[in-house]
Amino acid sequence: MWAMIVKEFRQVRRDRRTLAMMIVMPVLLLVVLGYAASFDVKTISVAVSGPQAQLLAHRLPSPFEVKTIAPGQSASWARNELRDGKAEMAVVTGSSRPQVLIDGSQLFSAKAALAALAGLAQRGTPLPVTPKVTVLYNPGLKTSVIMIPGLCGVVLVFVGTIITSLGVVRERQSGTLEQLAVMPLKPRDVFLGKIVPYFLVAAVDLAIVLTVGIAVFGVPFRGNLAVFGLGALLFLFVTLGIGVLISSVSQNQGQAIQLAVMTLLPQVLLSGLIFPLASIAAGVRWIAYFLPLTYFNEISRGVMLRAEPISALWQPFIFLALLGAIVVTGATLRFRGYLAPAAHERGPHRPSVEPSPAQA
């Protein structure tokens, strides 16, 4: 047994990356996730419309934070504010009984808003009469309704990043990548040929998850399928690129899995899928803005639950496209290096491939 223990320690010591992950990562993850793990909603963004909007806005106490006051606007404007994700709650004044609209797709904010409204009703301020409260998009405040759109993204991350990283590194490990390098294939063709099958598999997975979510869990799909598809396409673009990047820095499938999980875990925990983004401590919240799932969550929830139009989703689309451009460019460059390792490492020296051979 002693021989086995010594052998294992020697192997682990040589695998620096695994060793670093075993020692550093638990501490890092605990700190990051410790700050991220919070369901507490400290503020609820509010839009107020109608003739008494100004008056009411100044009387709404914490945790409500009035973002927009529009005395000239009506209930439809308020609904659009919620639909476009500009506010989590809207108050429409003007009638004898104010109308409160709550965005049910923001589950924890909605629950916090209902609790805060109940407290206000007990104290009788600032609303003299009990408002009519309507929860939009997820009236039953069901967790599955907000989780399924996000889980679509997790499925895409799983297939896009983990499976792709394995596929490419397997080619490297088995020595077939060198064979590809000498074949008359363009690096771009090899890159695309490598990721297109995973792309299609991921698309099928996405369709299955969506169908099951809608049919079994009753998740609504209220928006435009094309907008959702475009978001999924961009998101897949990023995740597949991350998969190829991971494979390009991994020596074997074990390392690729480790790195892929490292990218999956923060995406699941920091992207707003489980914990509301606003509840995550500012010290670690910035990480969320570098994670593609953060933006896909916004798109999928926005389109599926609130029928958010693409004009309101331009920000996540732009950020996803930017991330995609950076990651895929990096992945293509790394892949090019893979297929022409000598040229990549040594610079301009290239074998002469003139059709006229030298004389013996």
Residues within the interface to other proteins (CB under 8 A): 174-176, 178-179, 181-185, 341-343, 346, 349-355, 357-360
d(CA 169, CA 192) in angstroms, rounded, equals 15
CB 194 to other proteins: min, Å: 13
Structure tokens at 152: 């679509």
d(CA 87, CA 338) in angstroms, rounded, equals 48
Task: State which residue, 74 or 179, has the beta carbon closest to other proteins.
Answer: 179
Task: State which residue, 257 or 343, has the beta carbon closest to other proteins.
Answer: 343
CB 214 to other proteins: min, Å: 36
Task: State which residue, 222 or 346, has the beta carbon closest to other proteins.
Answer: 346
CB 338 to other proteins: min, Å: 11
In the DSSP assignment, the letter for residue 139 is: T
CB 346 to other proteins: min, Å: 6
Task: State which residue, 130 or 176, has the beta carbon closest to other proteins.
Answer: 176
Give how far Cα 100 sits from Cα of 92, 140, 188, Å: 6, 16, 54
Which residues have C-beta within 8 Å of that of residue 313, sequence separation ≥ 6? 227, 231, 298, 299, 302, 303
Find, among 99, 237, 225, the residue nearest to 160 by Cα: 237
d(CA 223, CA 4) in angstroms, rounded, equals 59
Structure tokens at 194: 């490598």
Q: Looking at this protein, which amino acid is placed at residue 344?
A: H
Task: State which residue, 79 or 334, has the beta carbon closest to other proteins.
Answer: 334
233-249: buried (b, 16+ CB within 10 Å) or exposed (e) per residue?
Answer: ebbbbbbbbbbbbbbbe
Task: State which residue, 141 or 340, has the beta carbon closest to other proteins.
Answer: 340
CB 350 to other proteins: min, Å: 5
CB 8 to other proteins: min, Å: 27
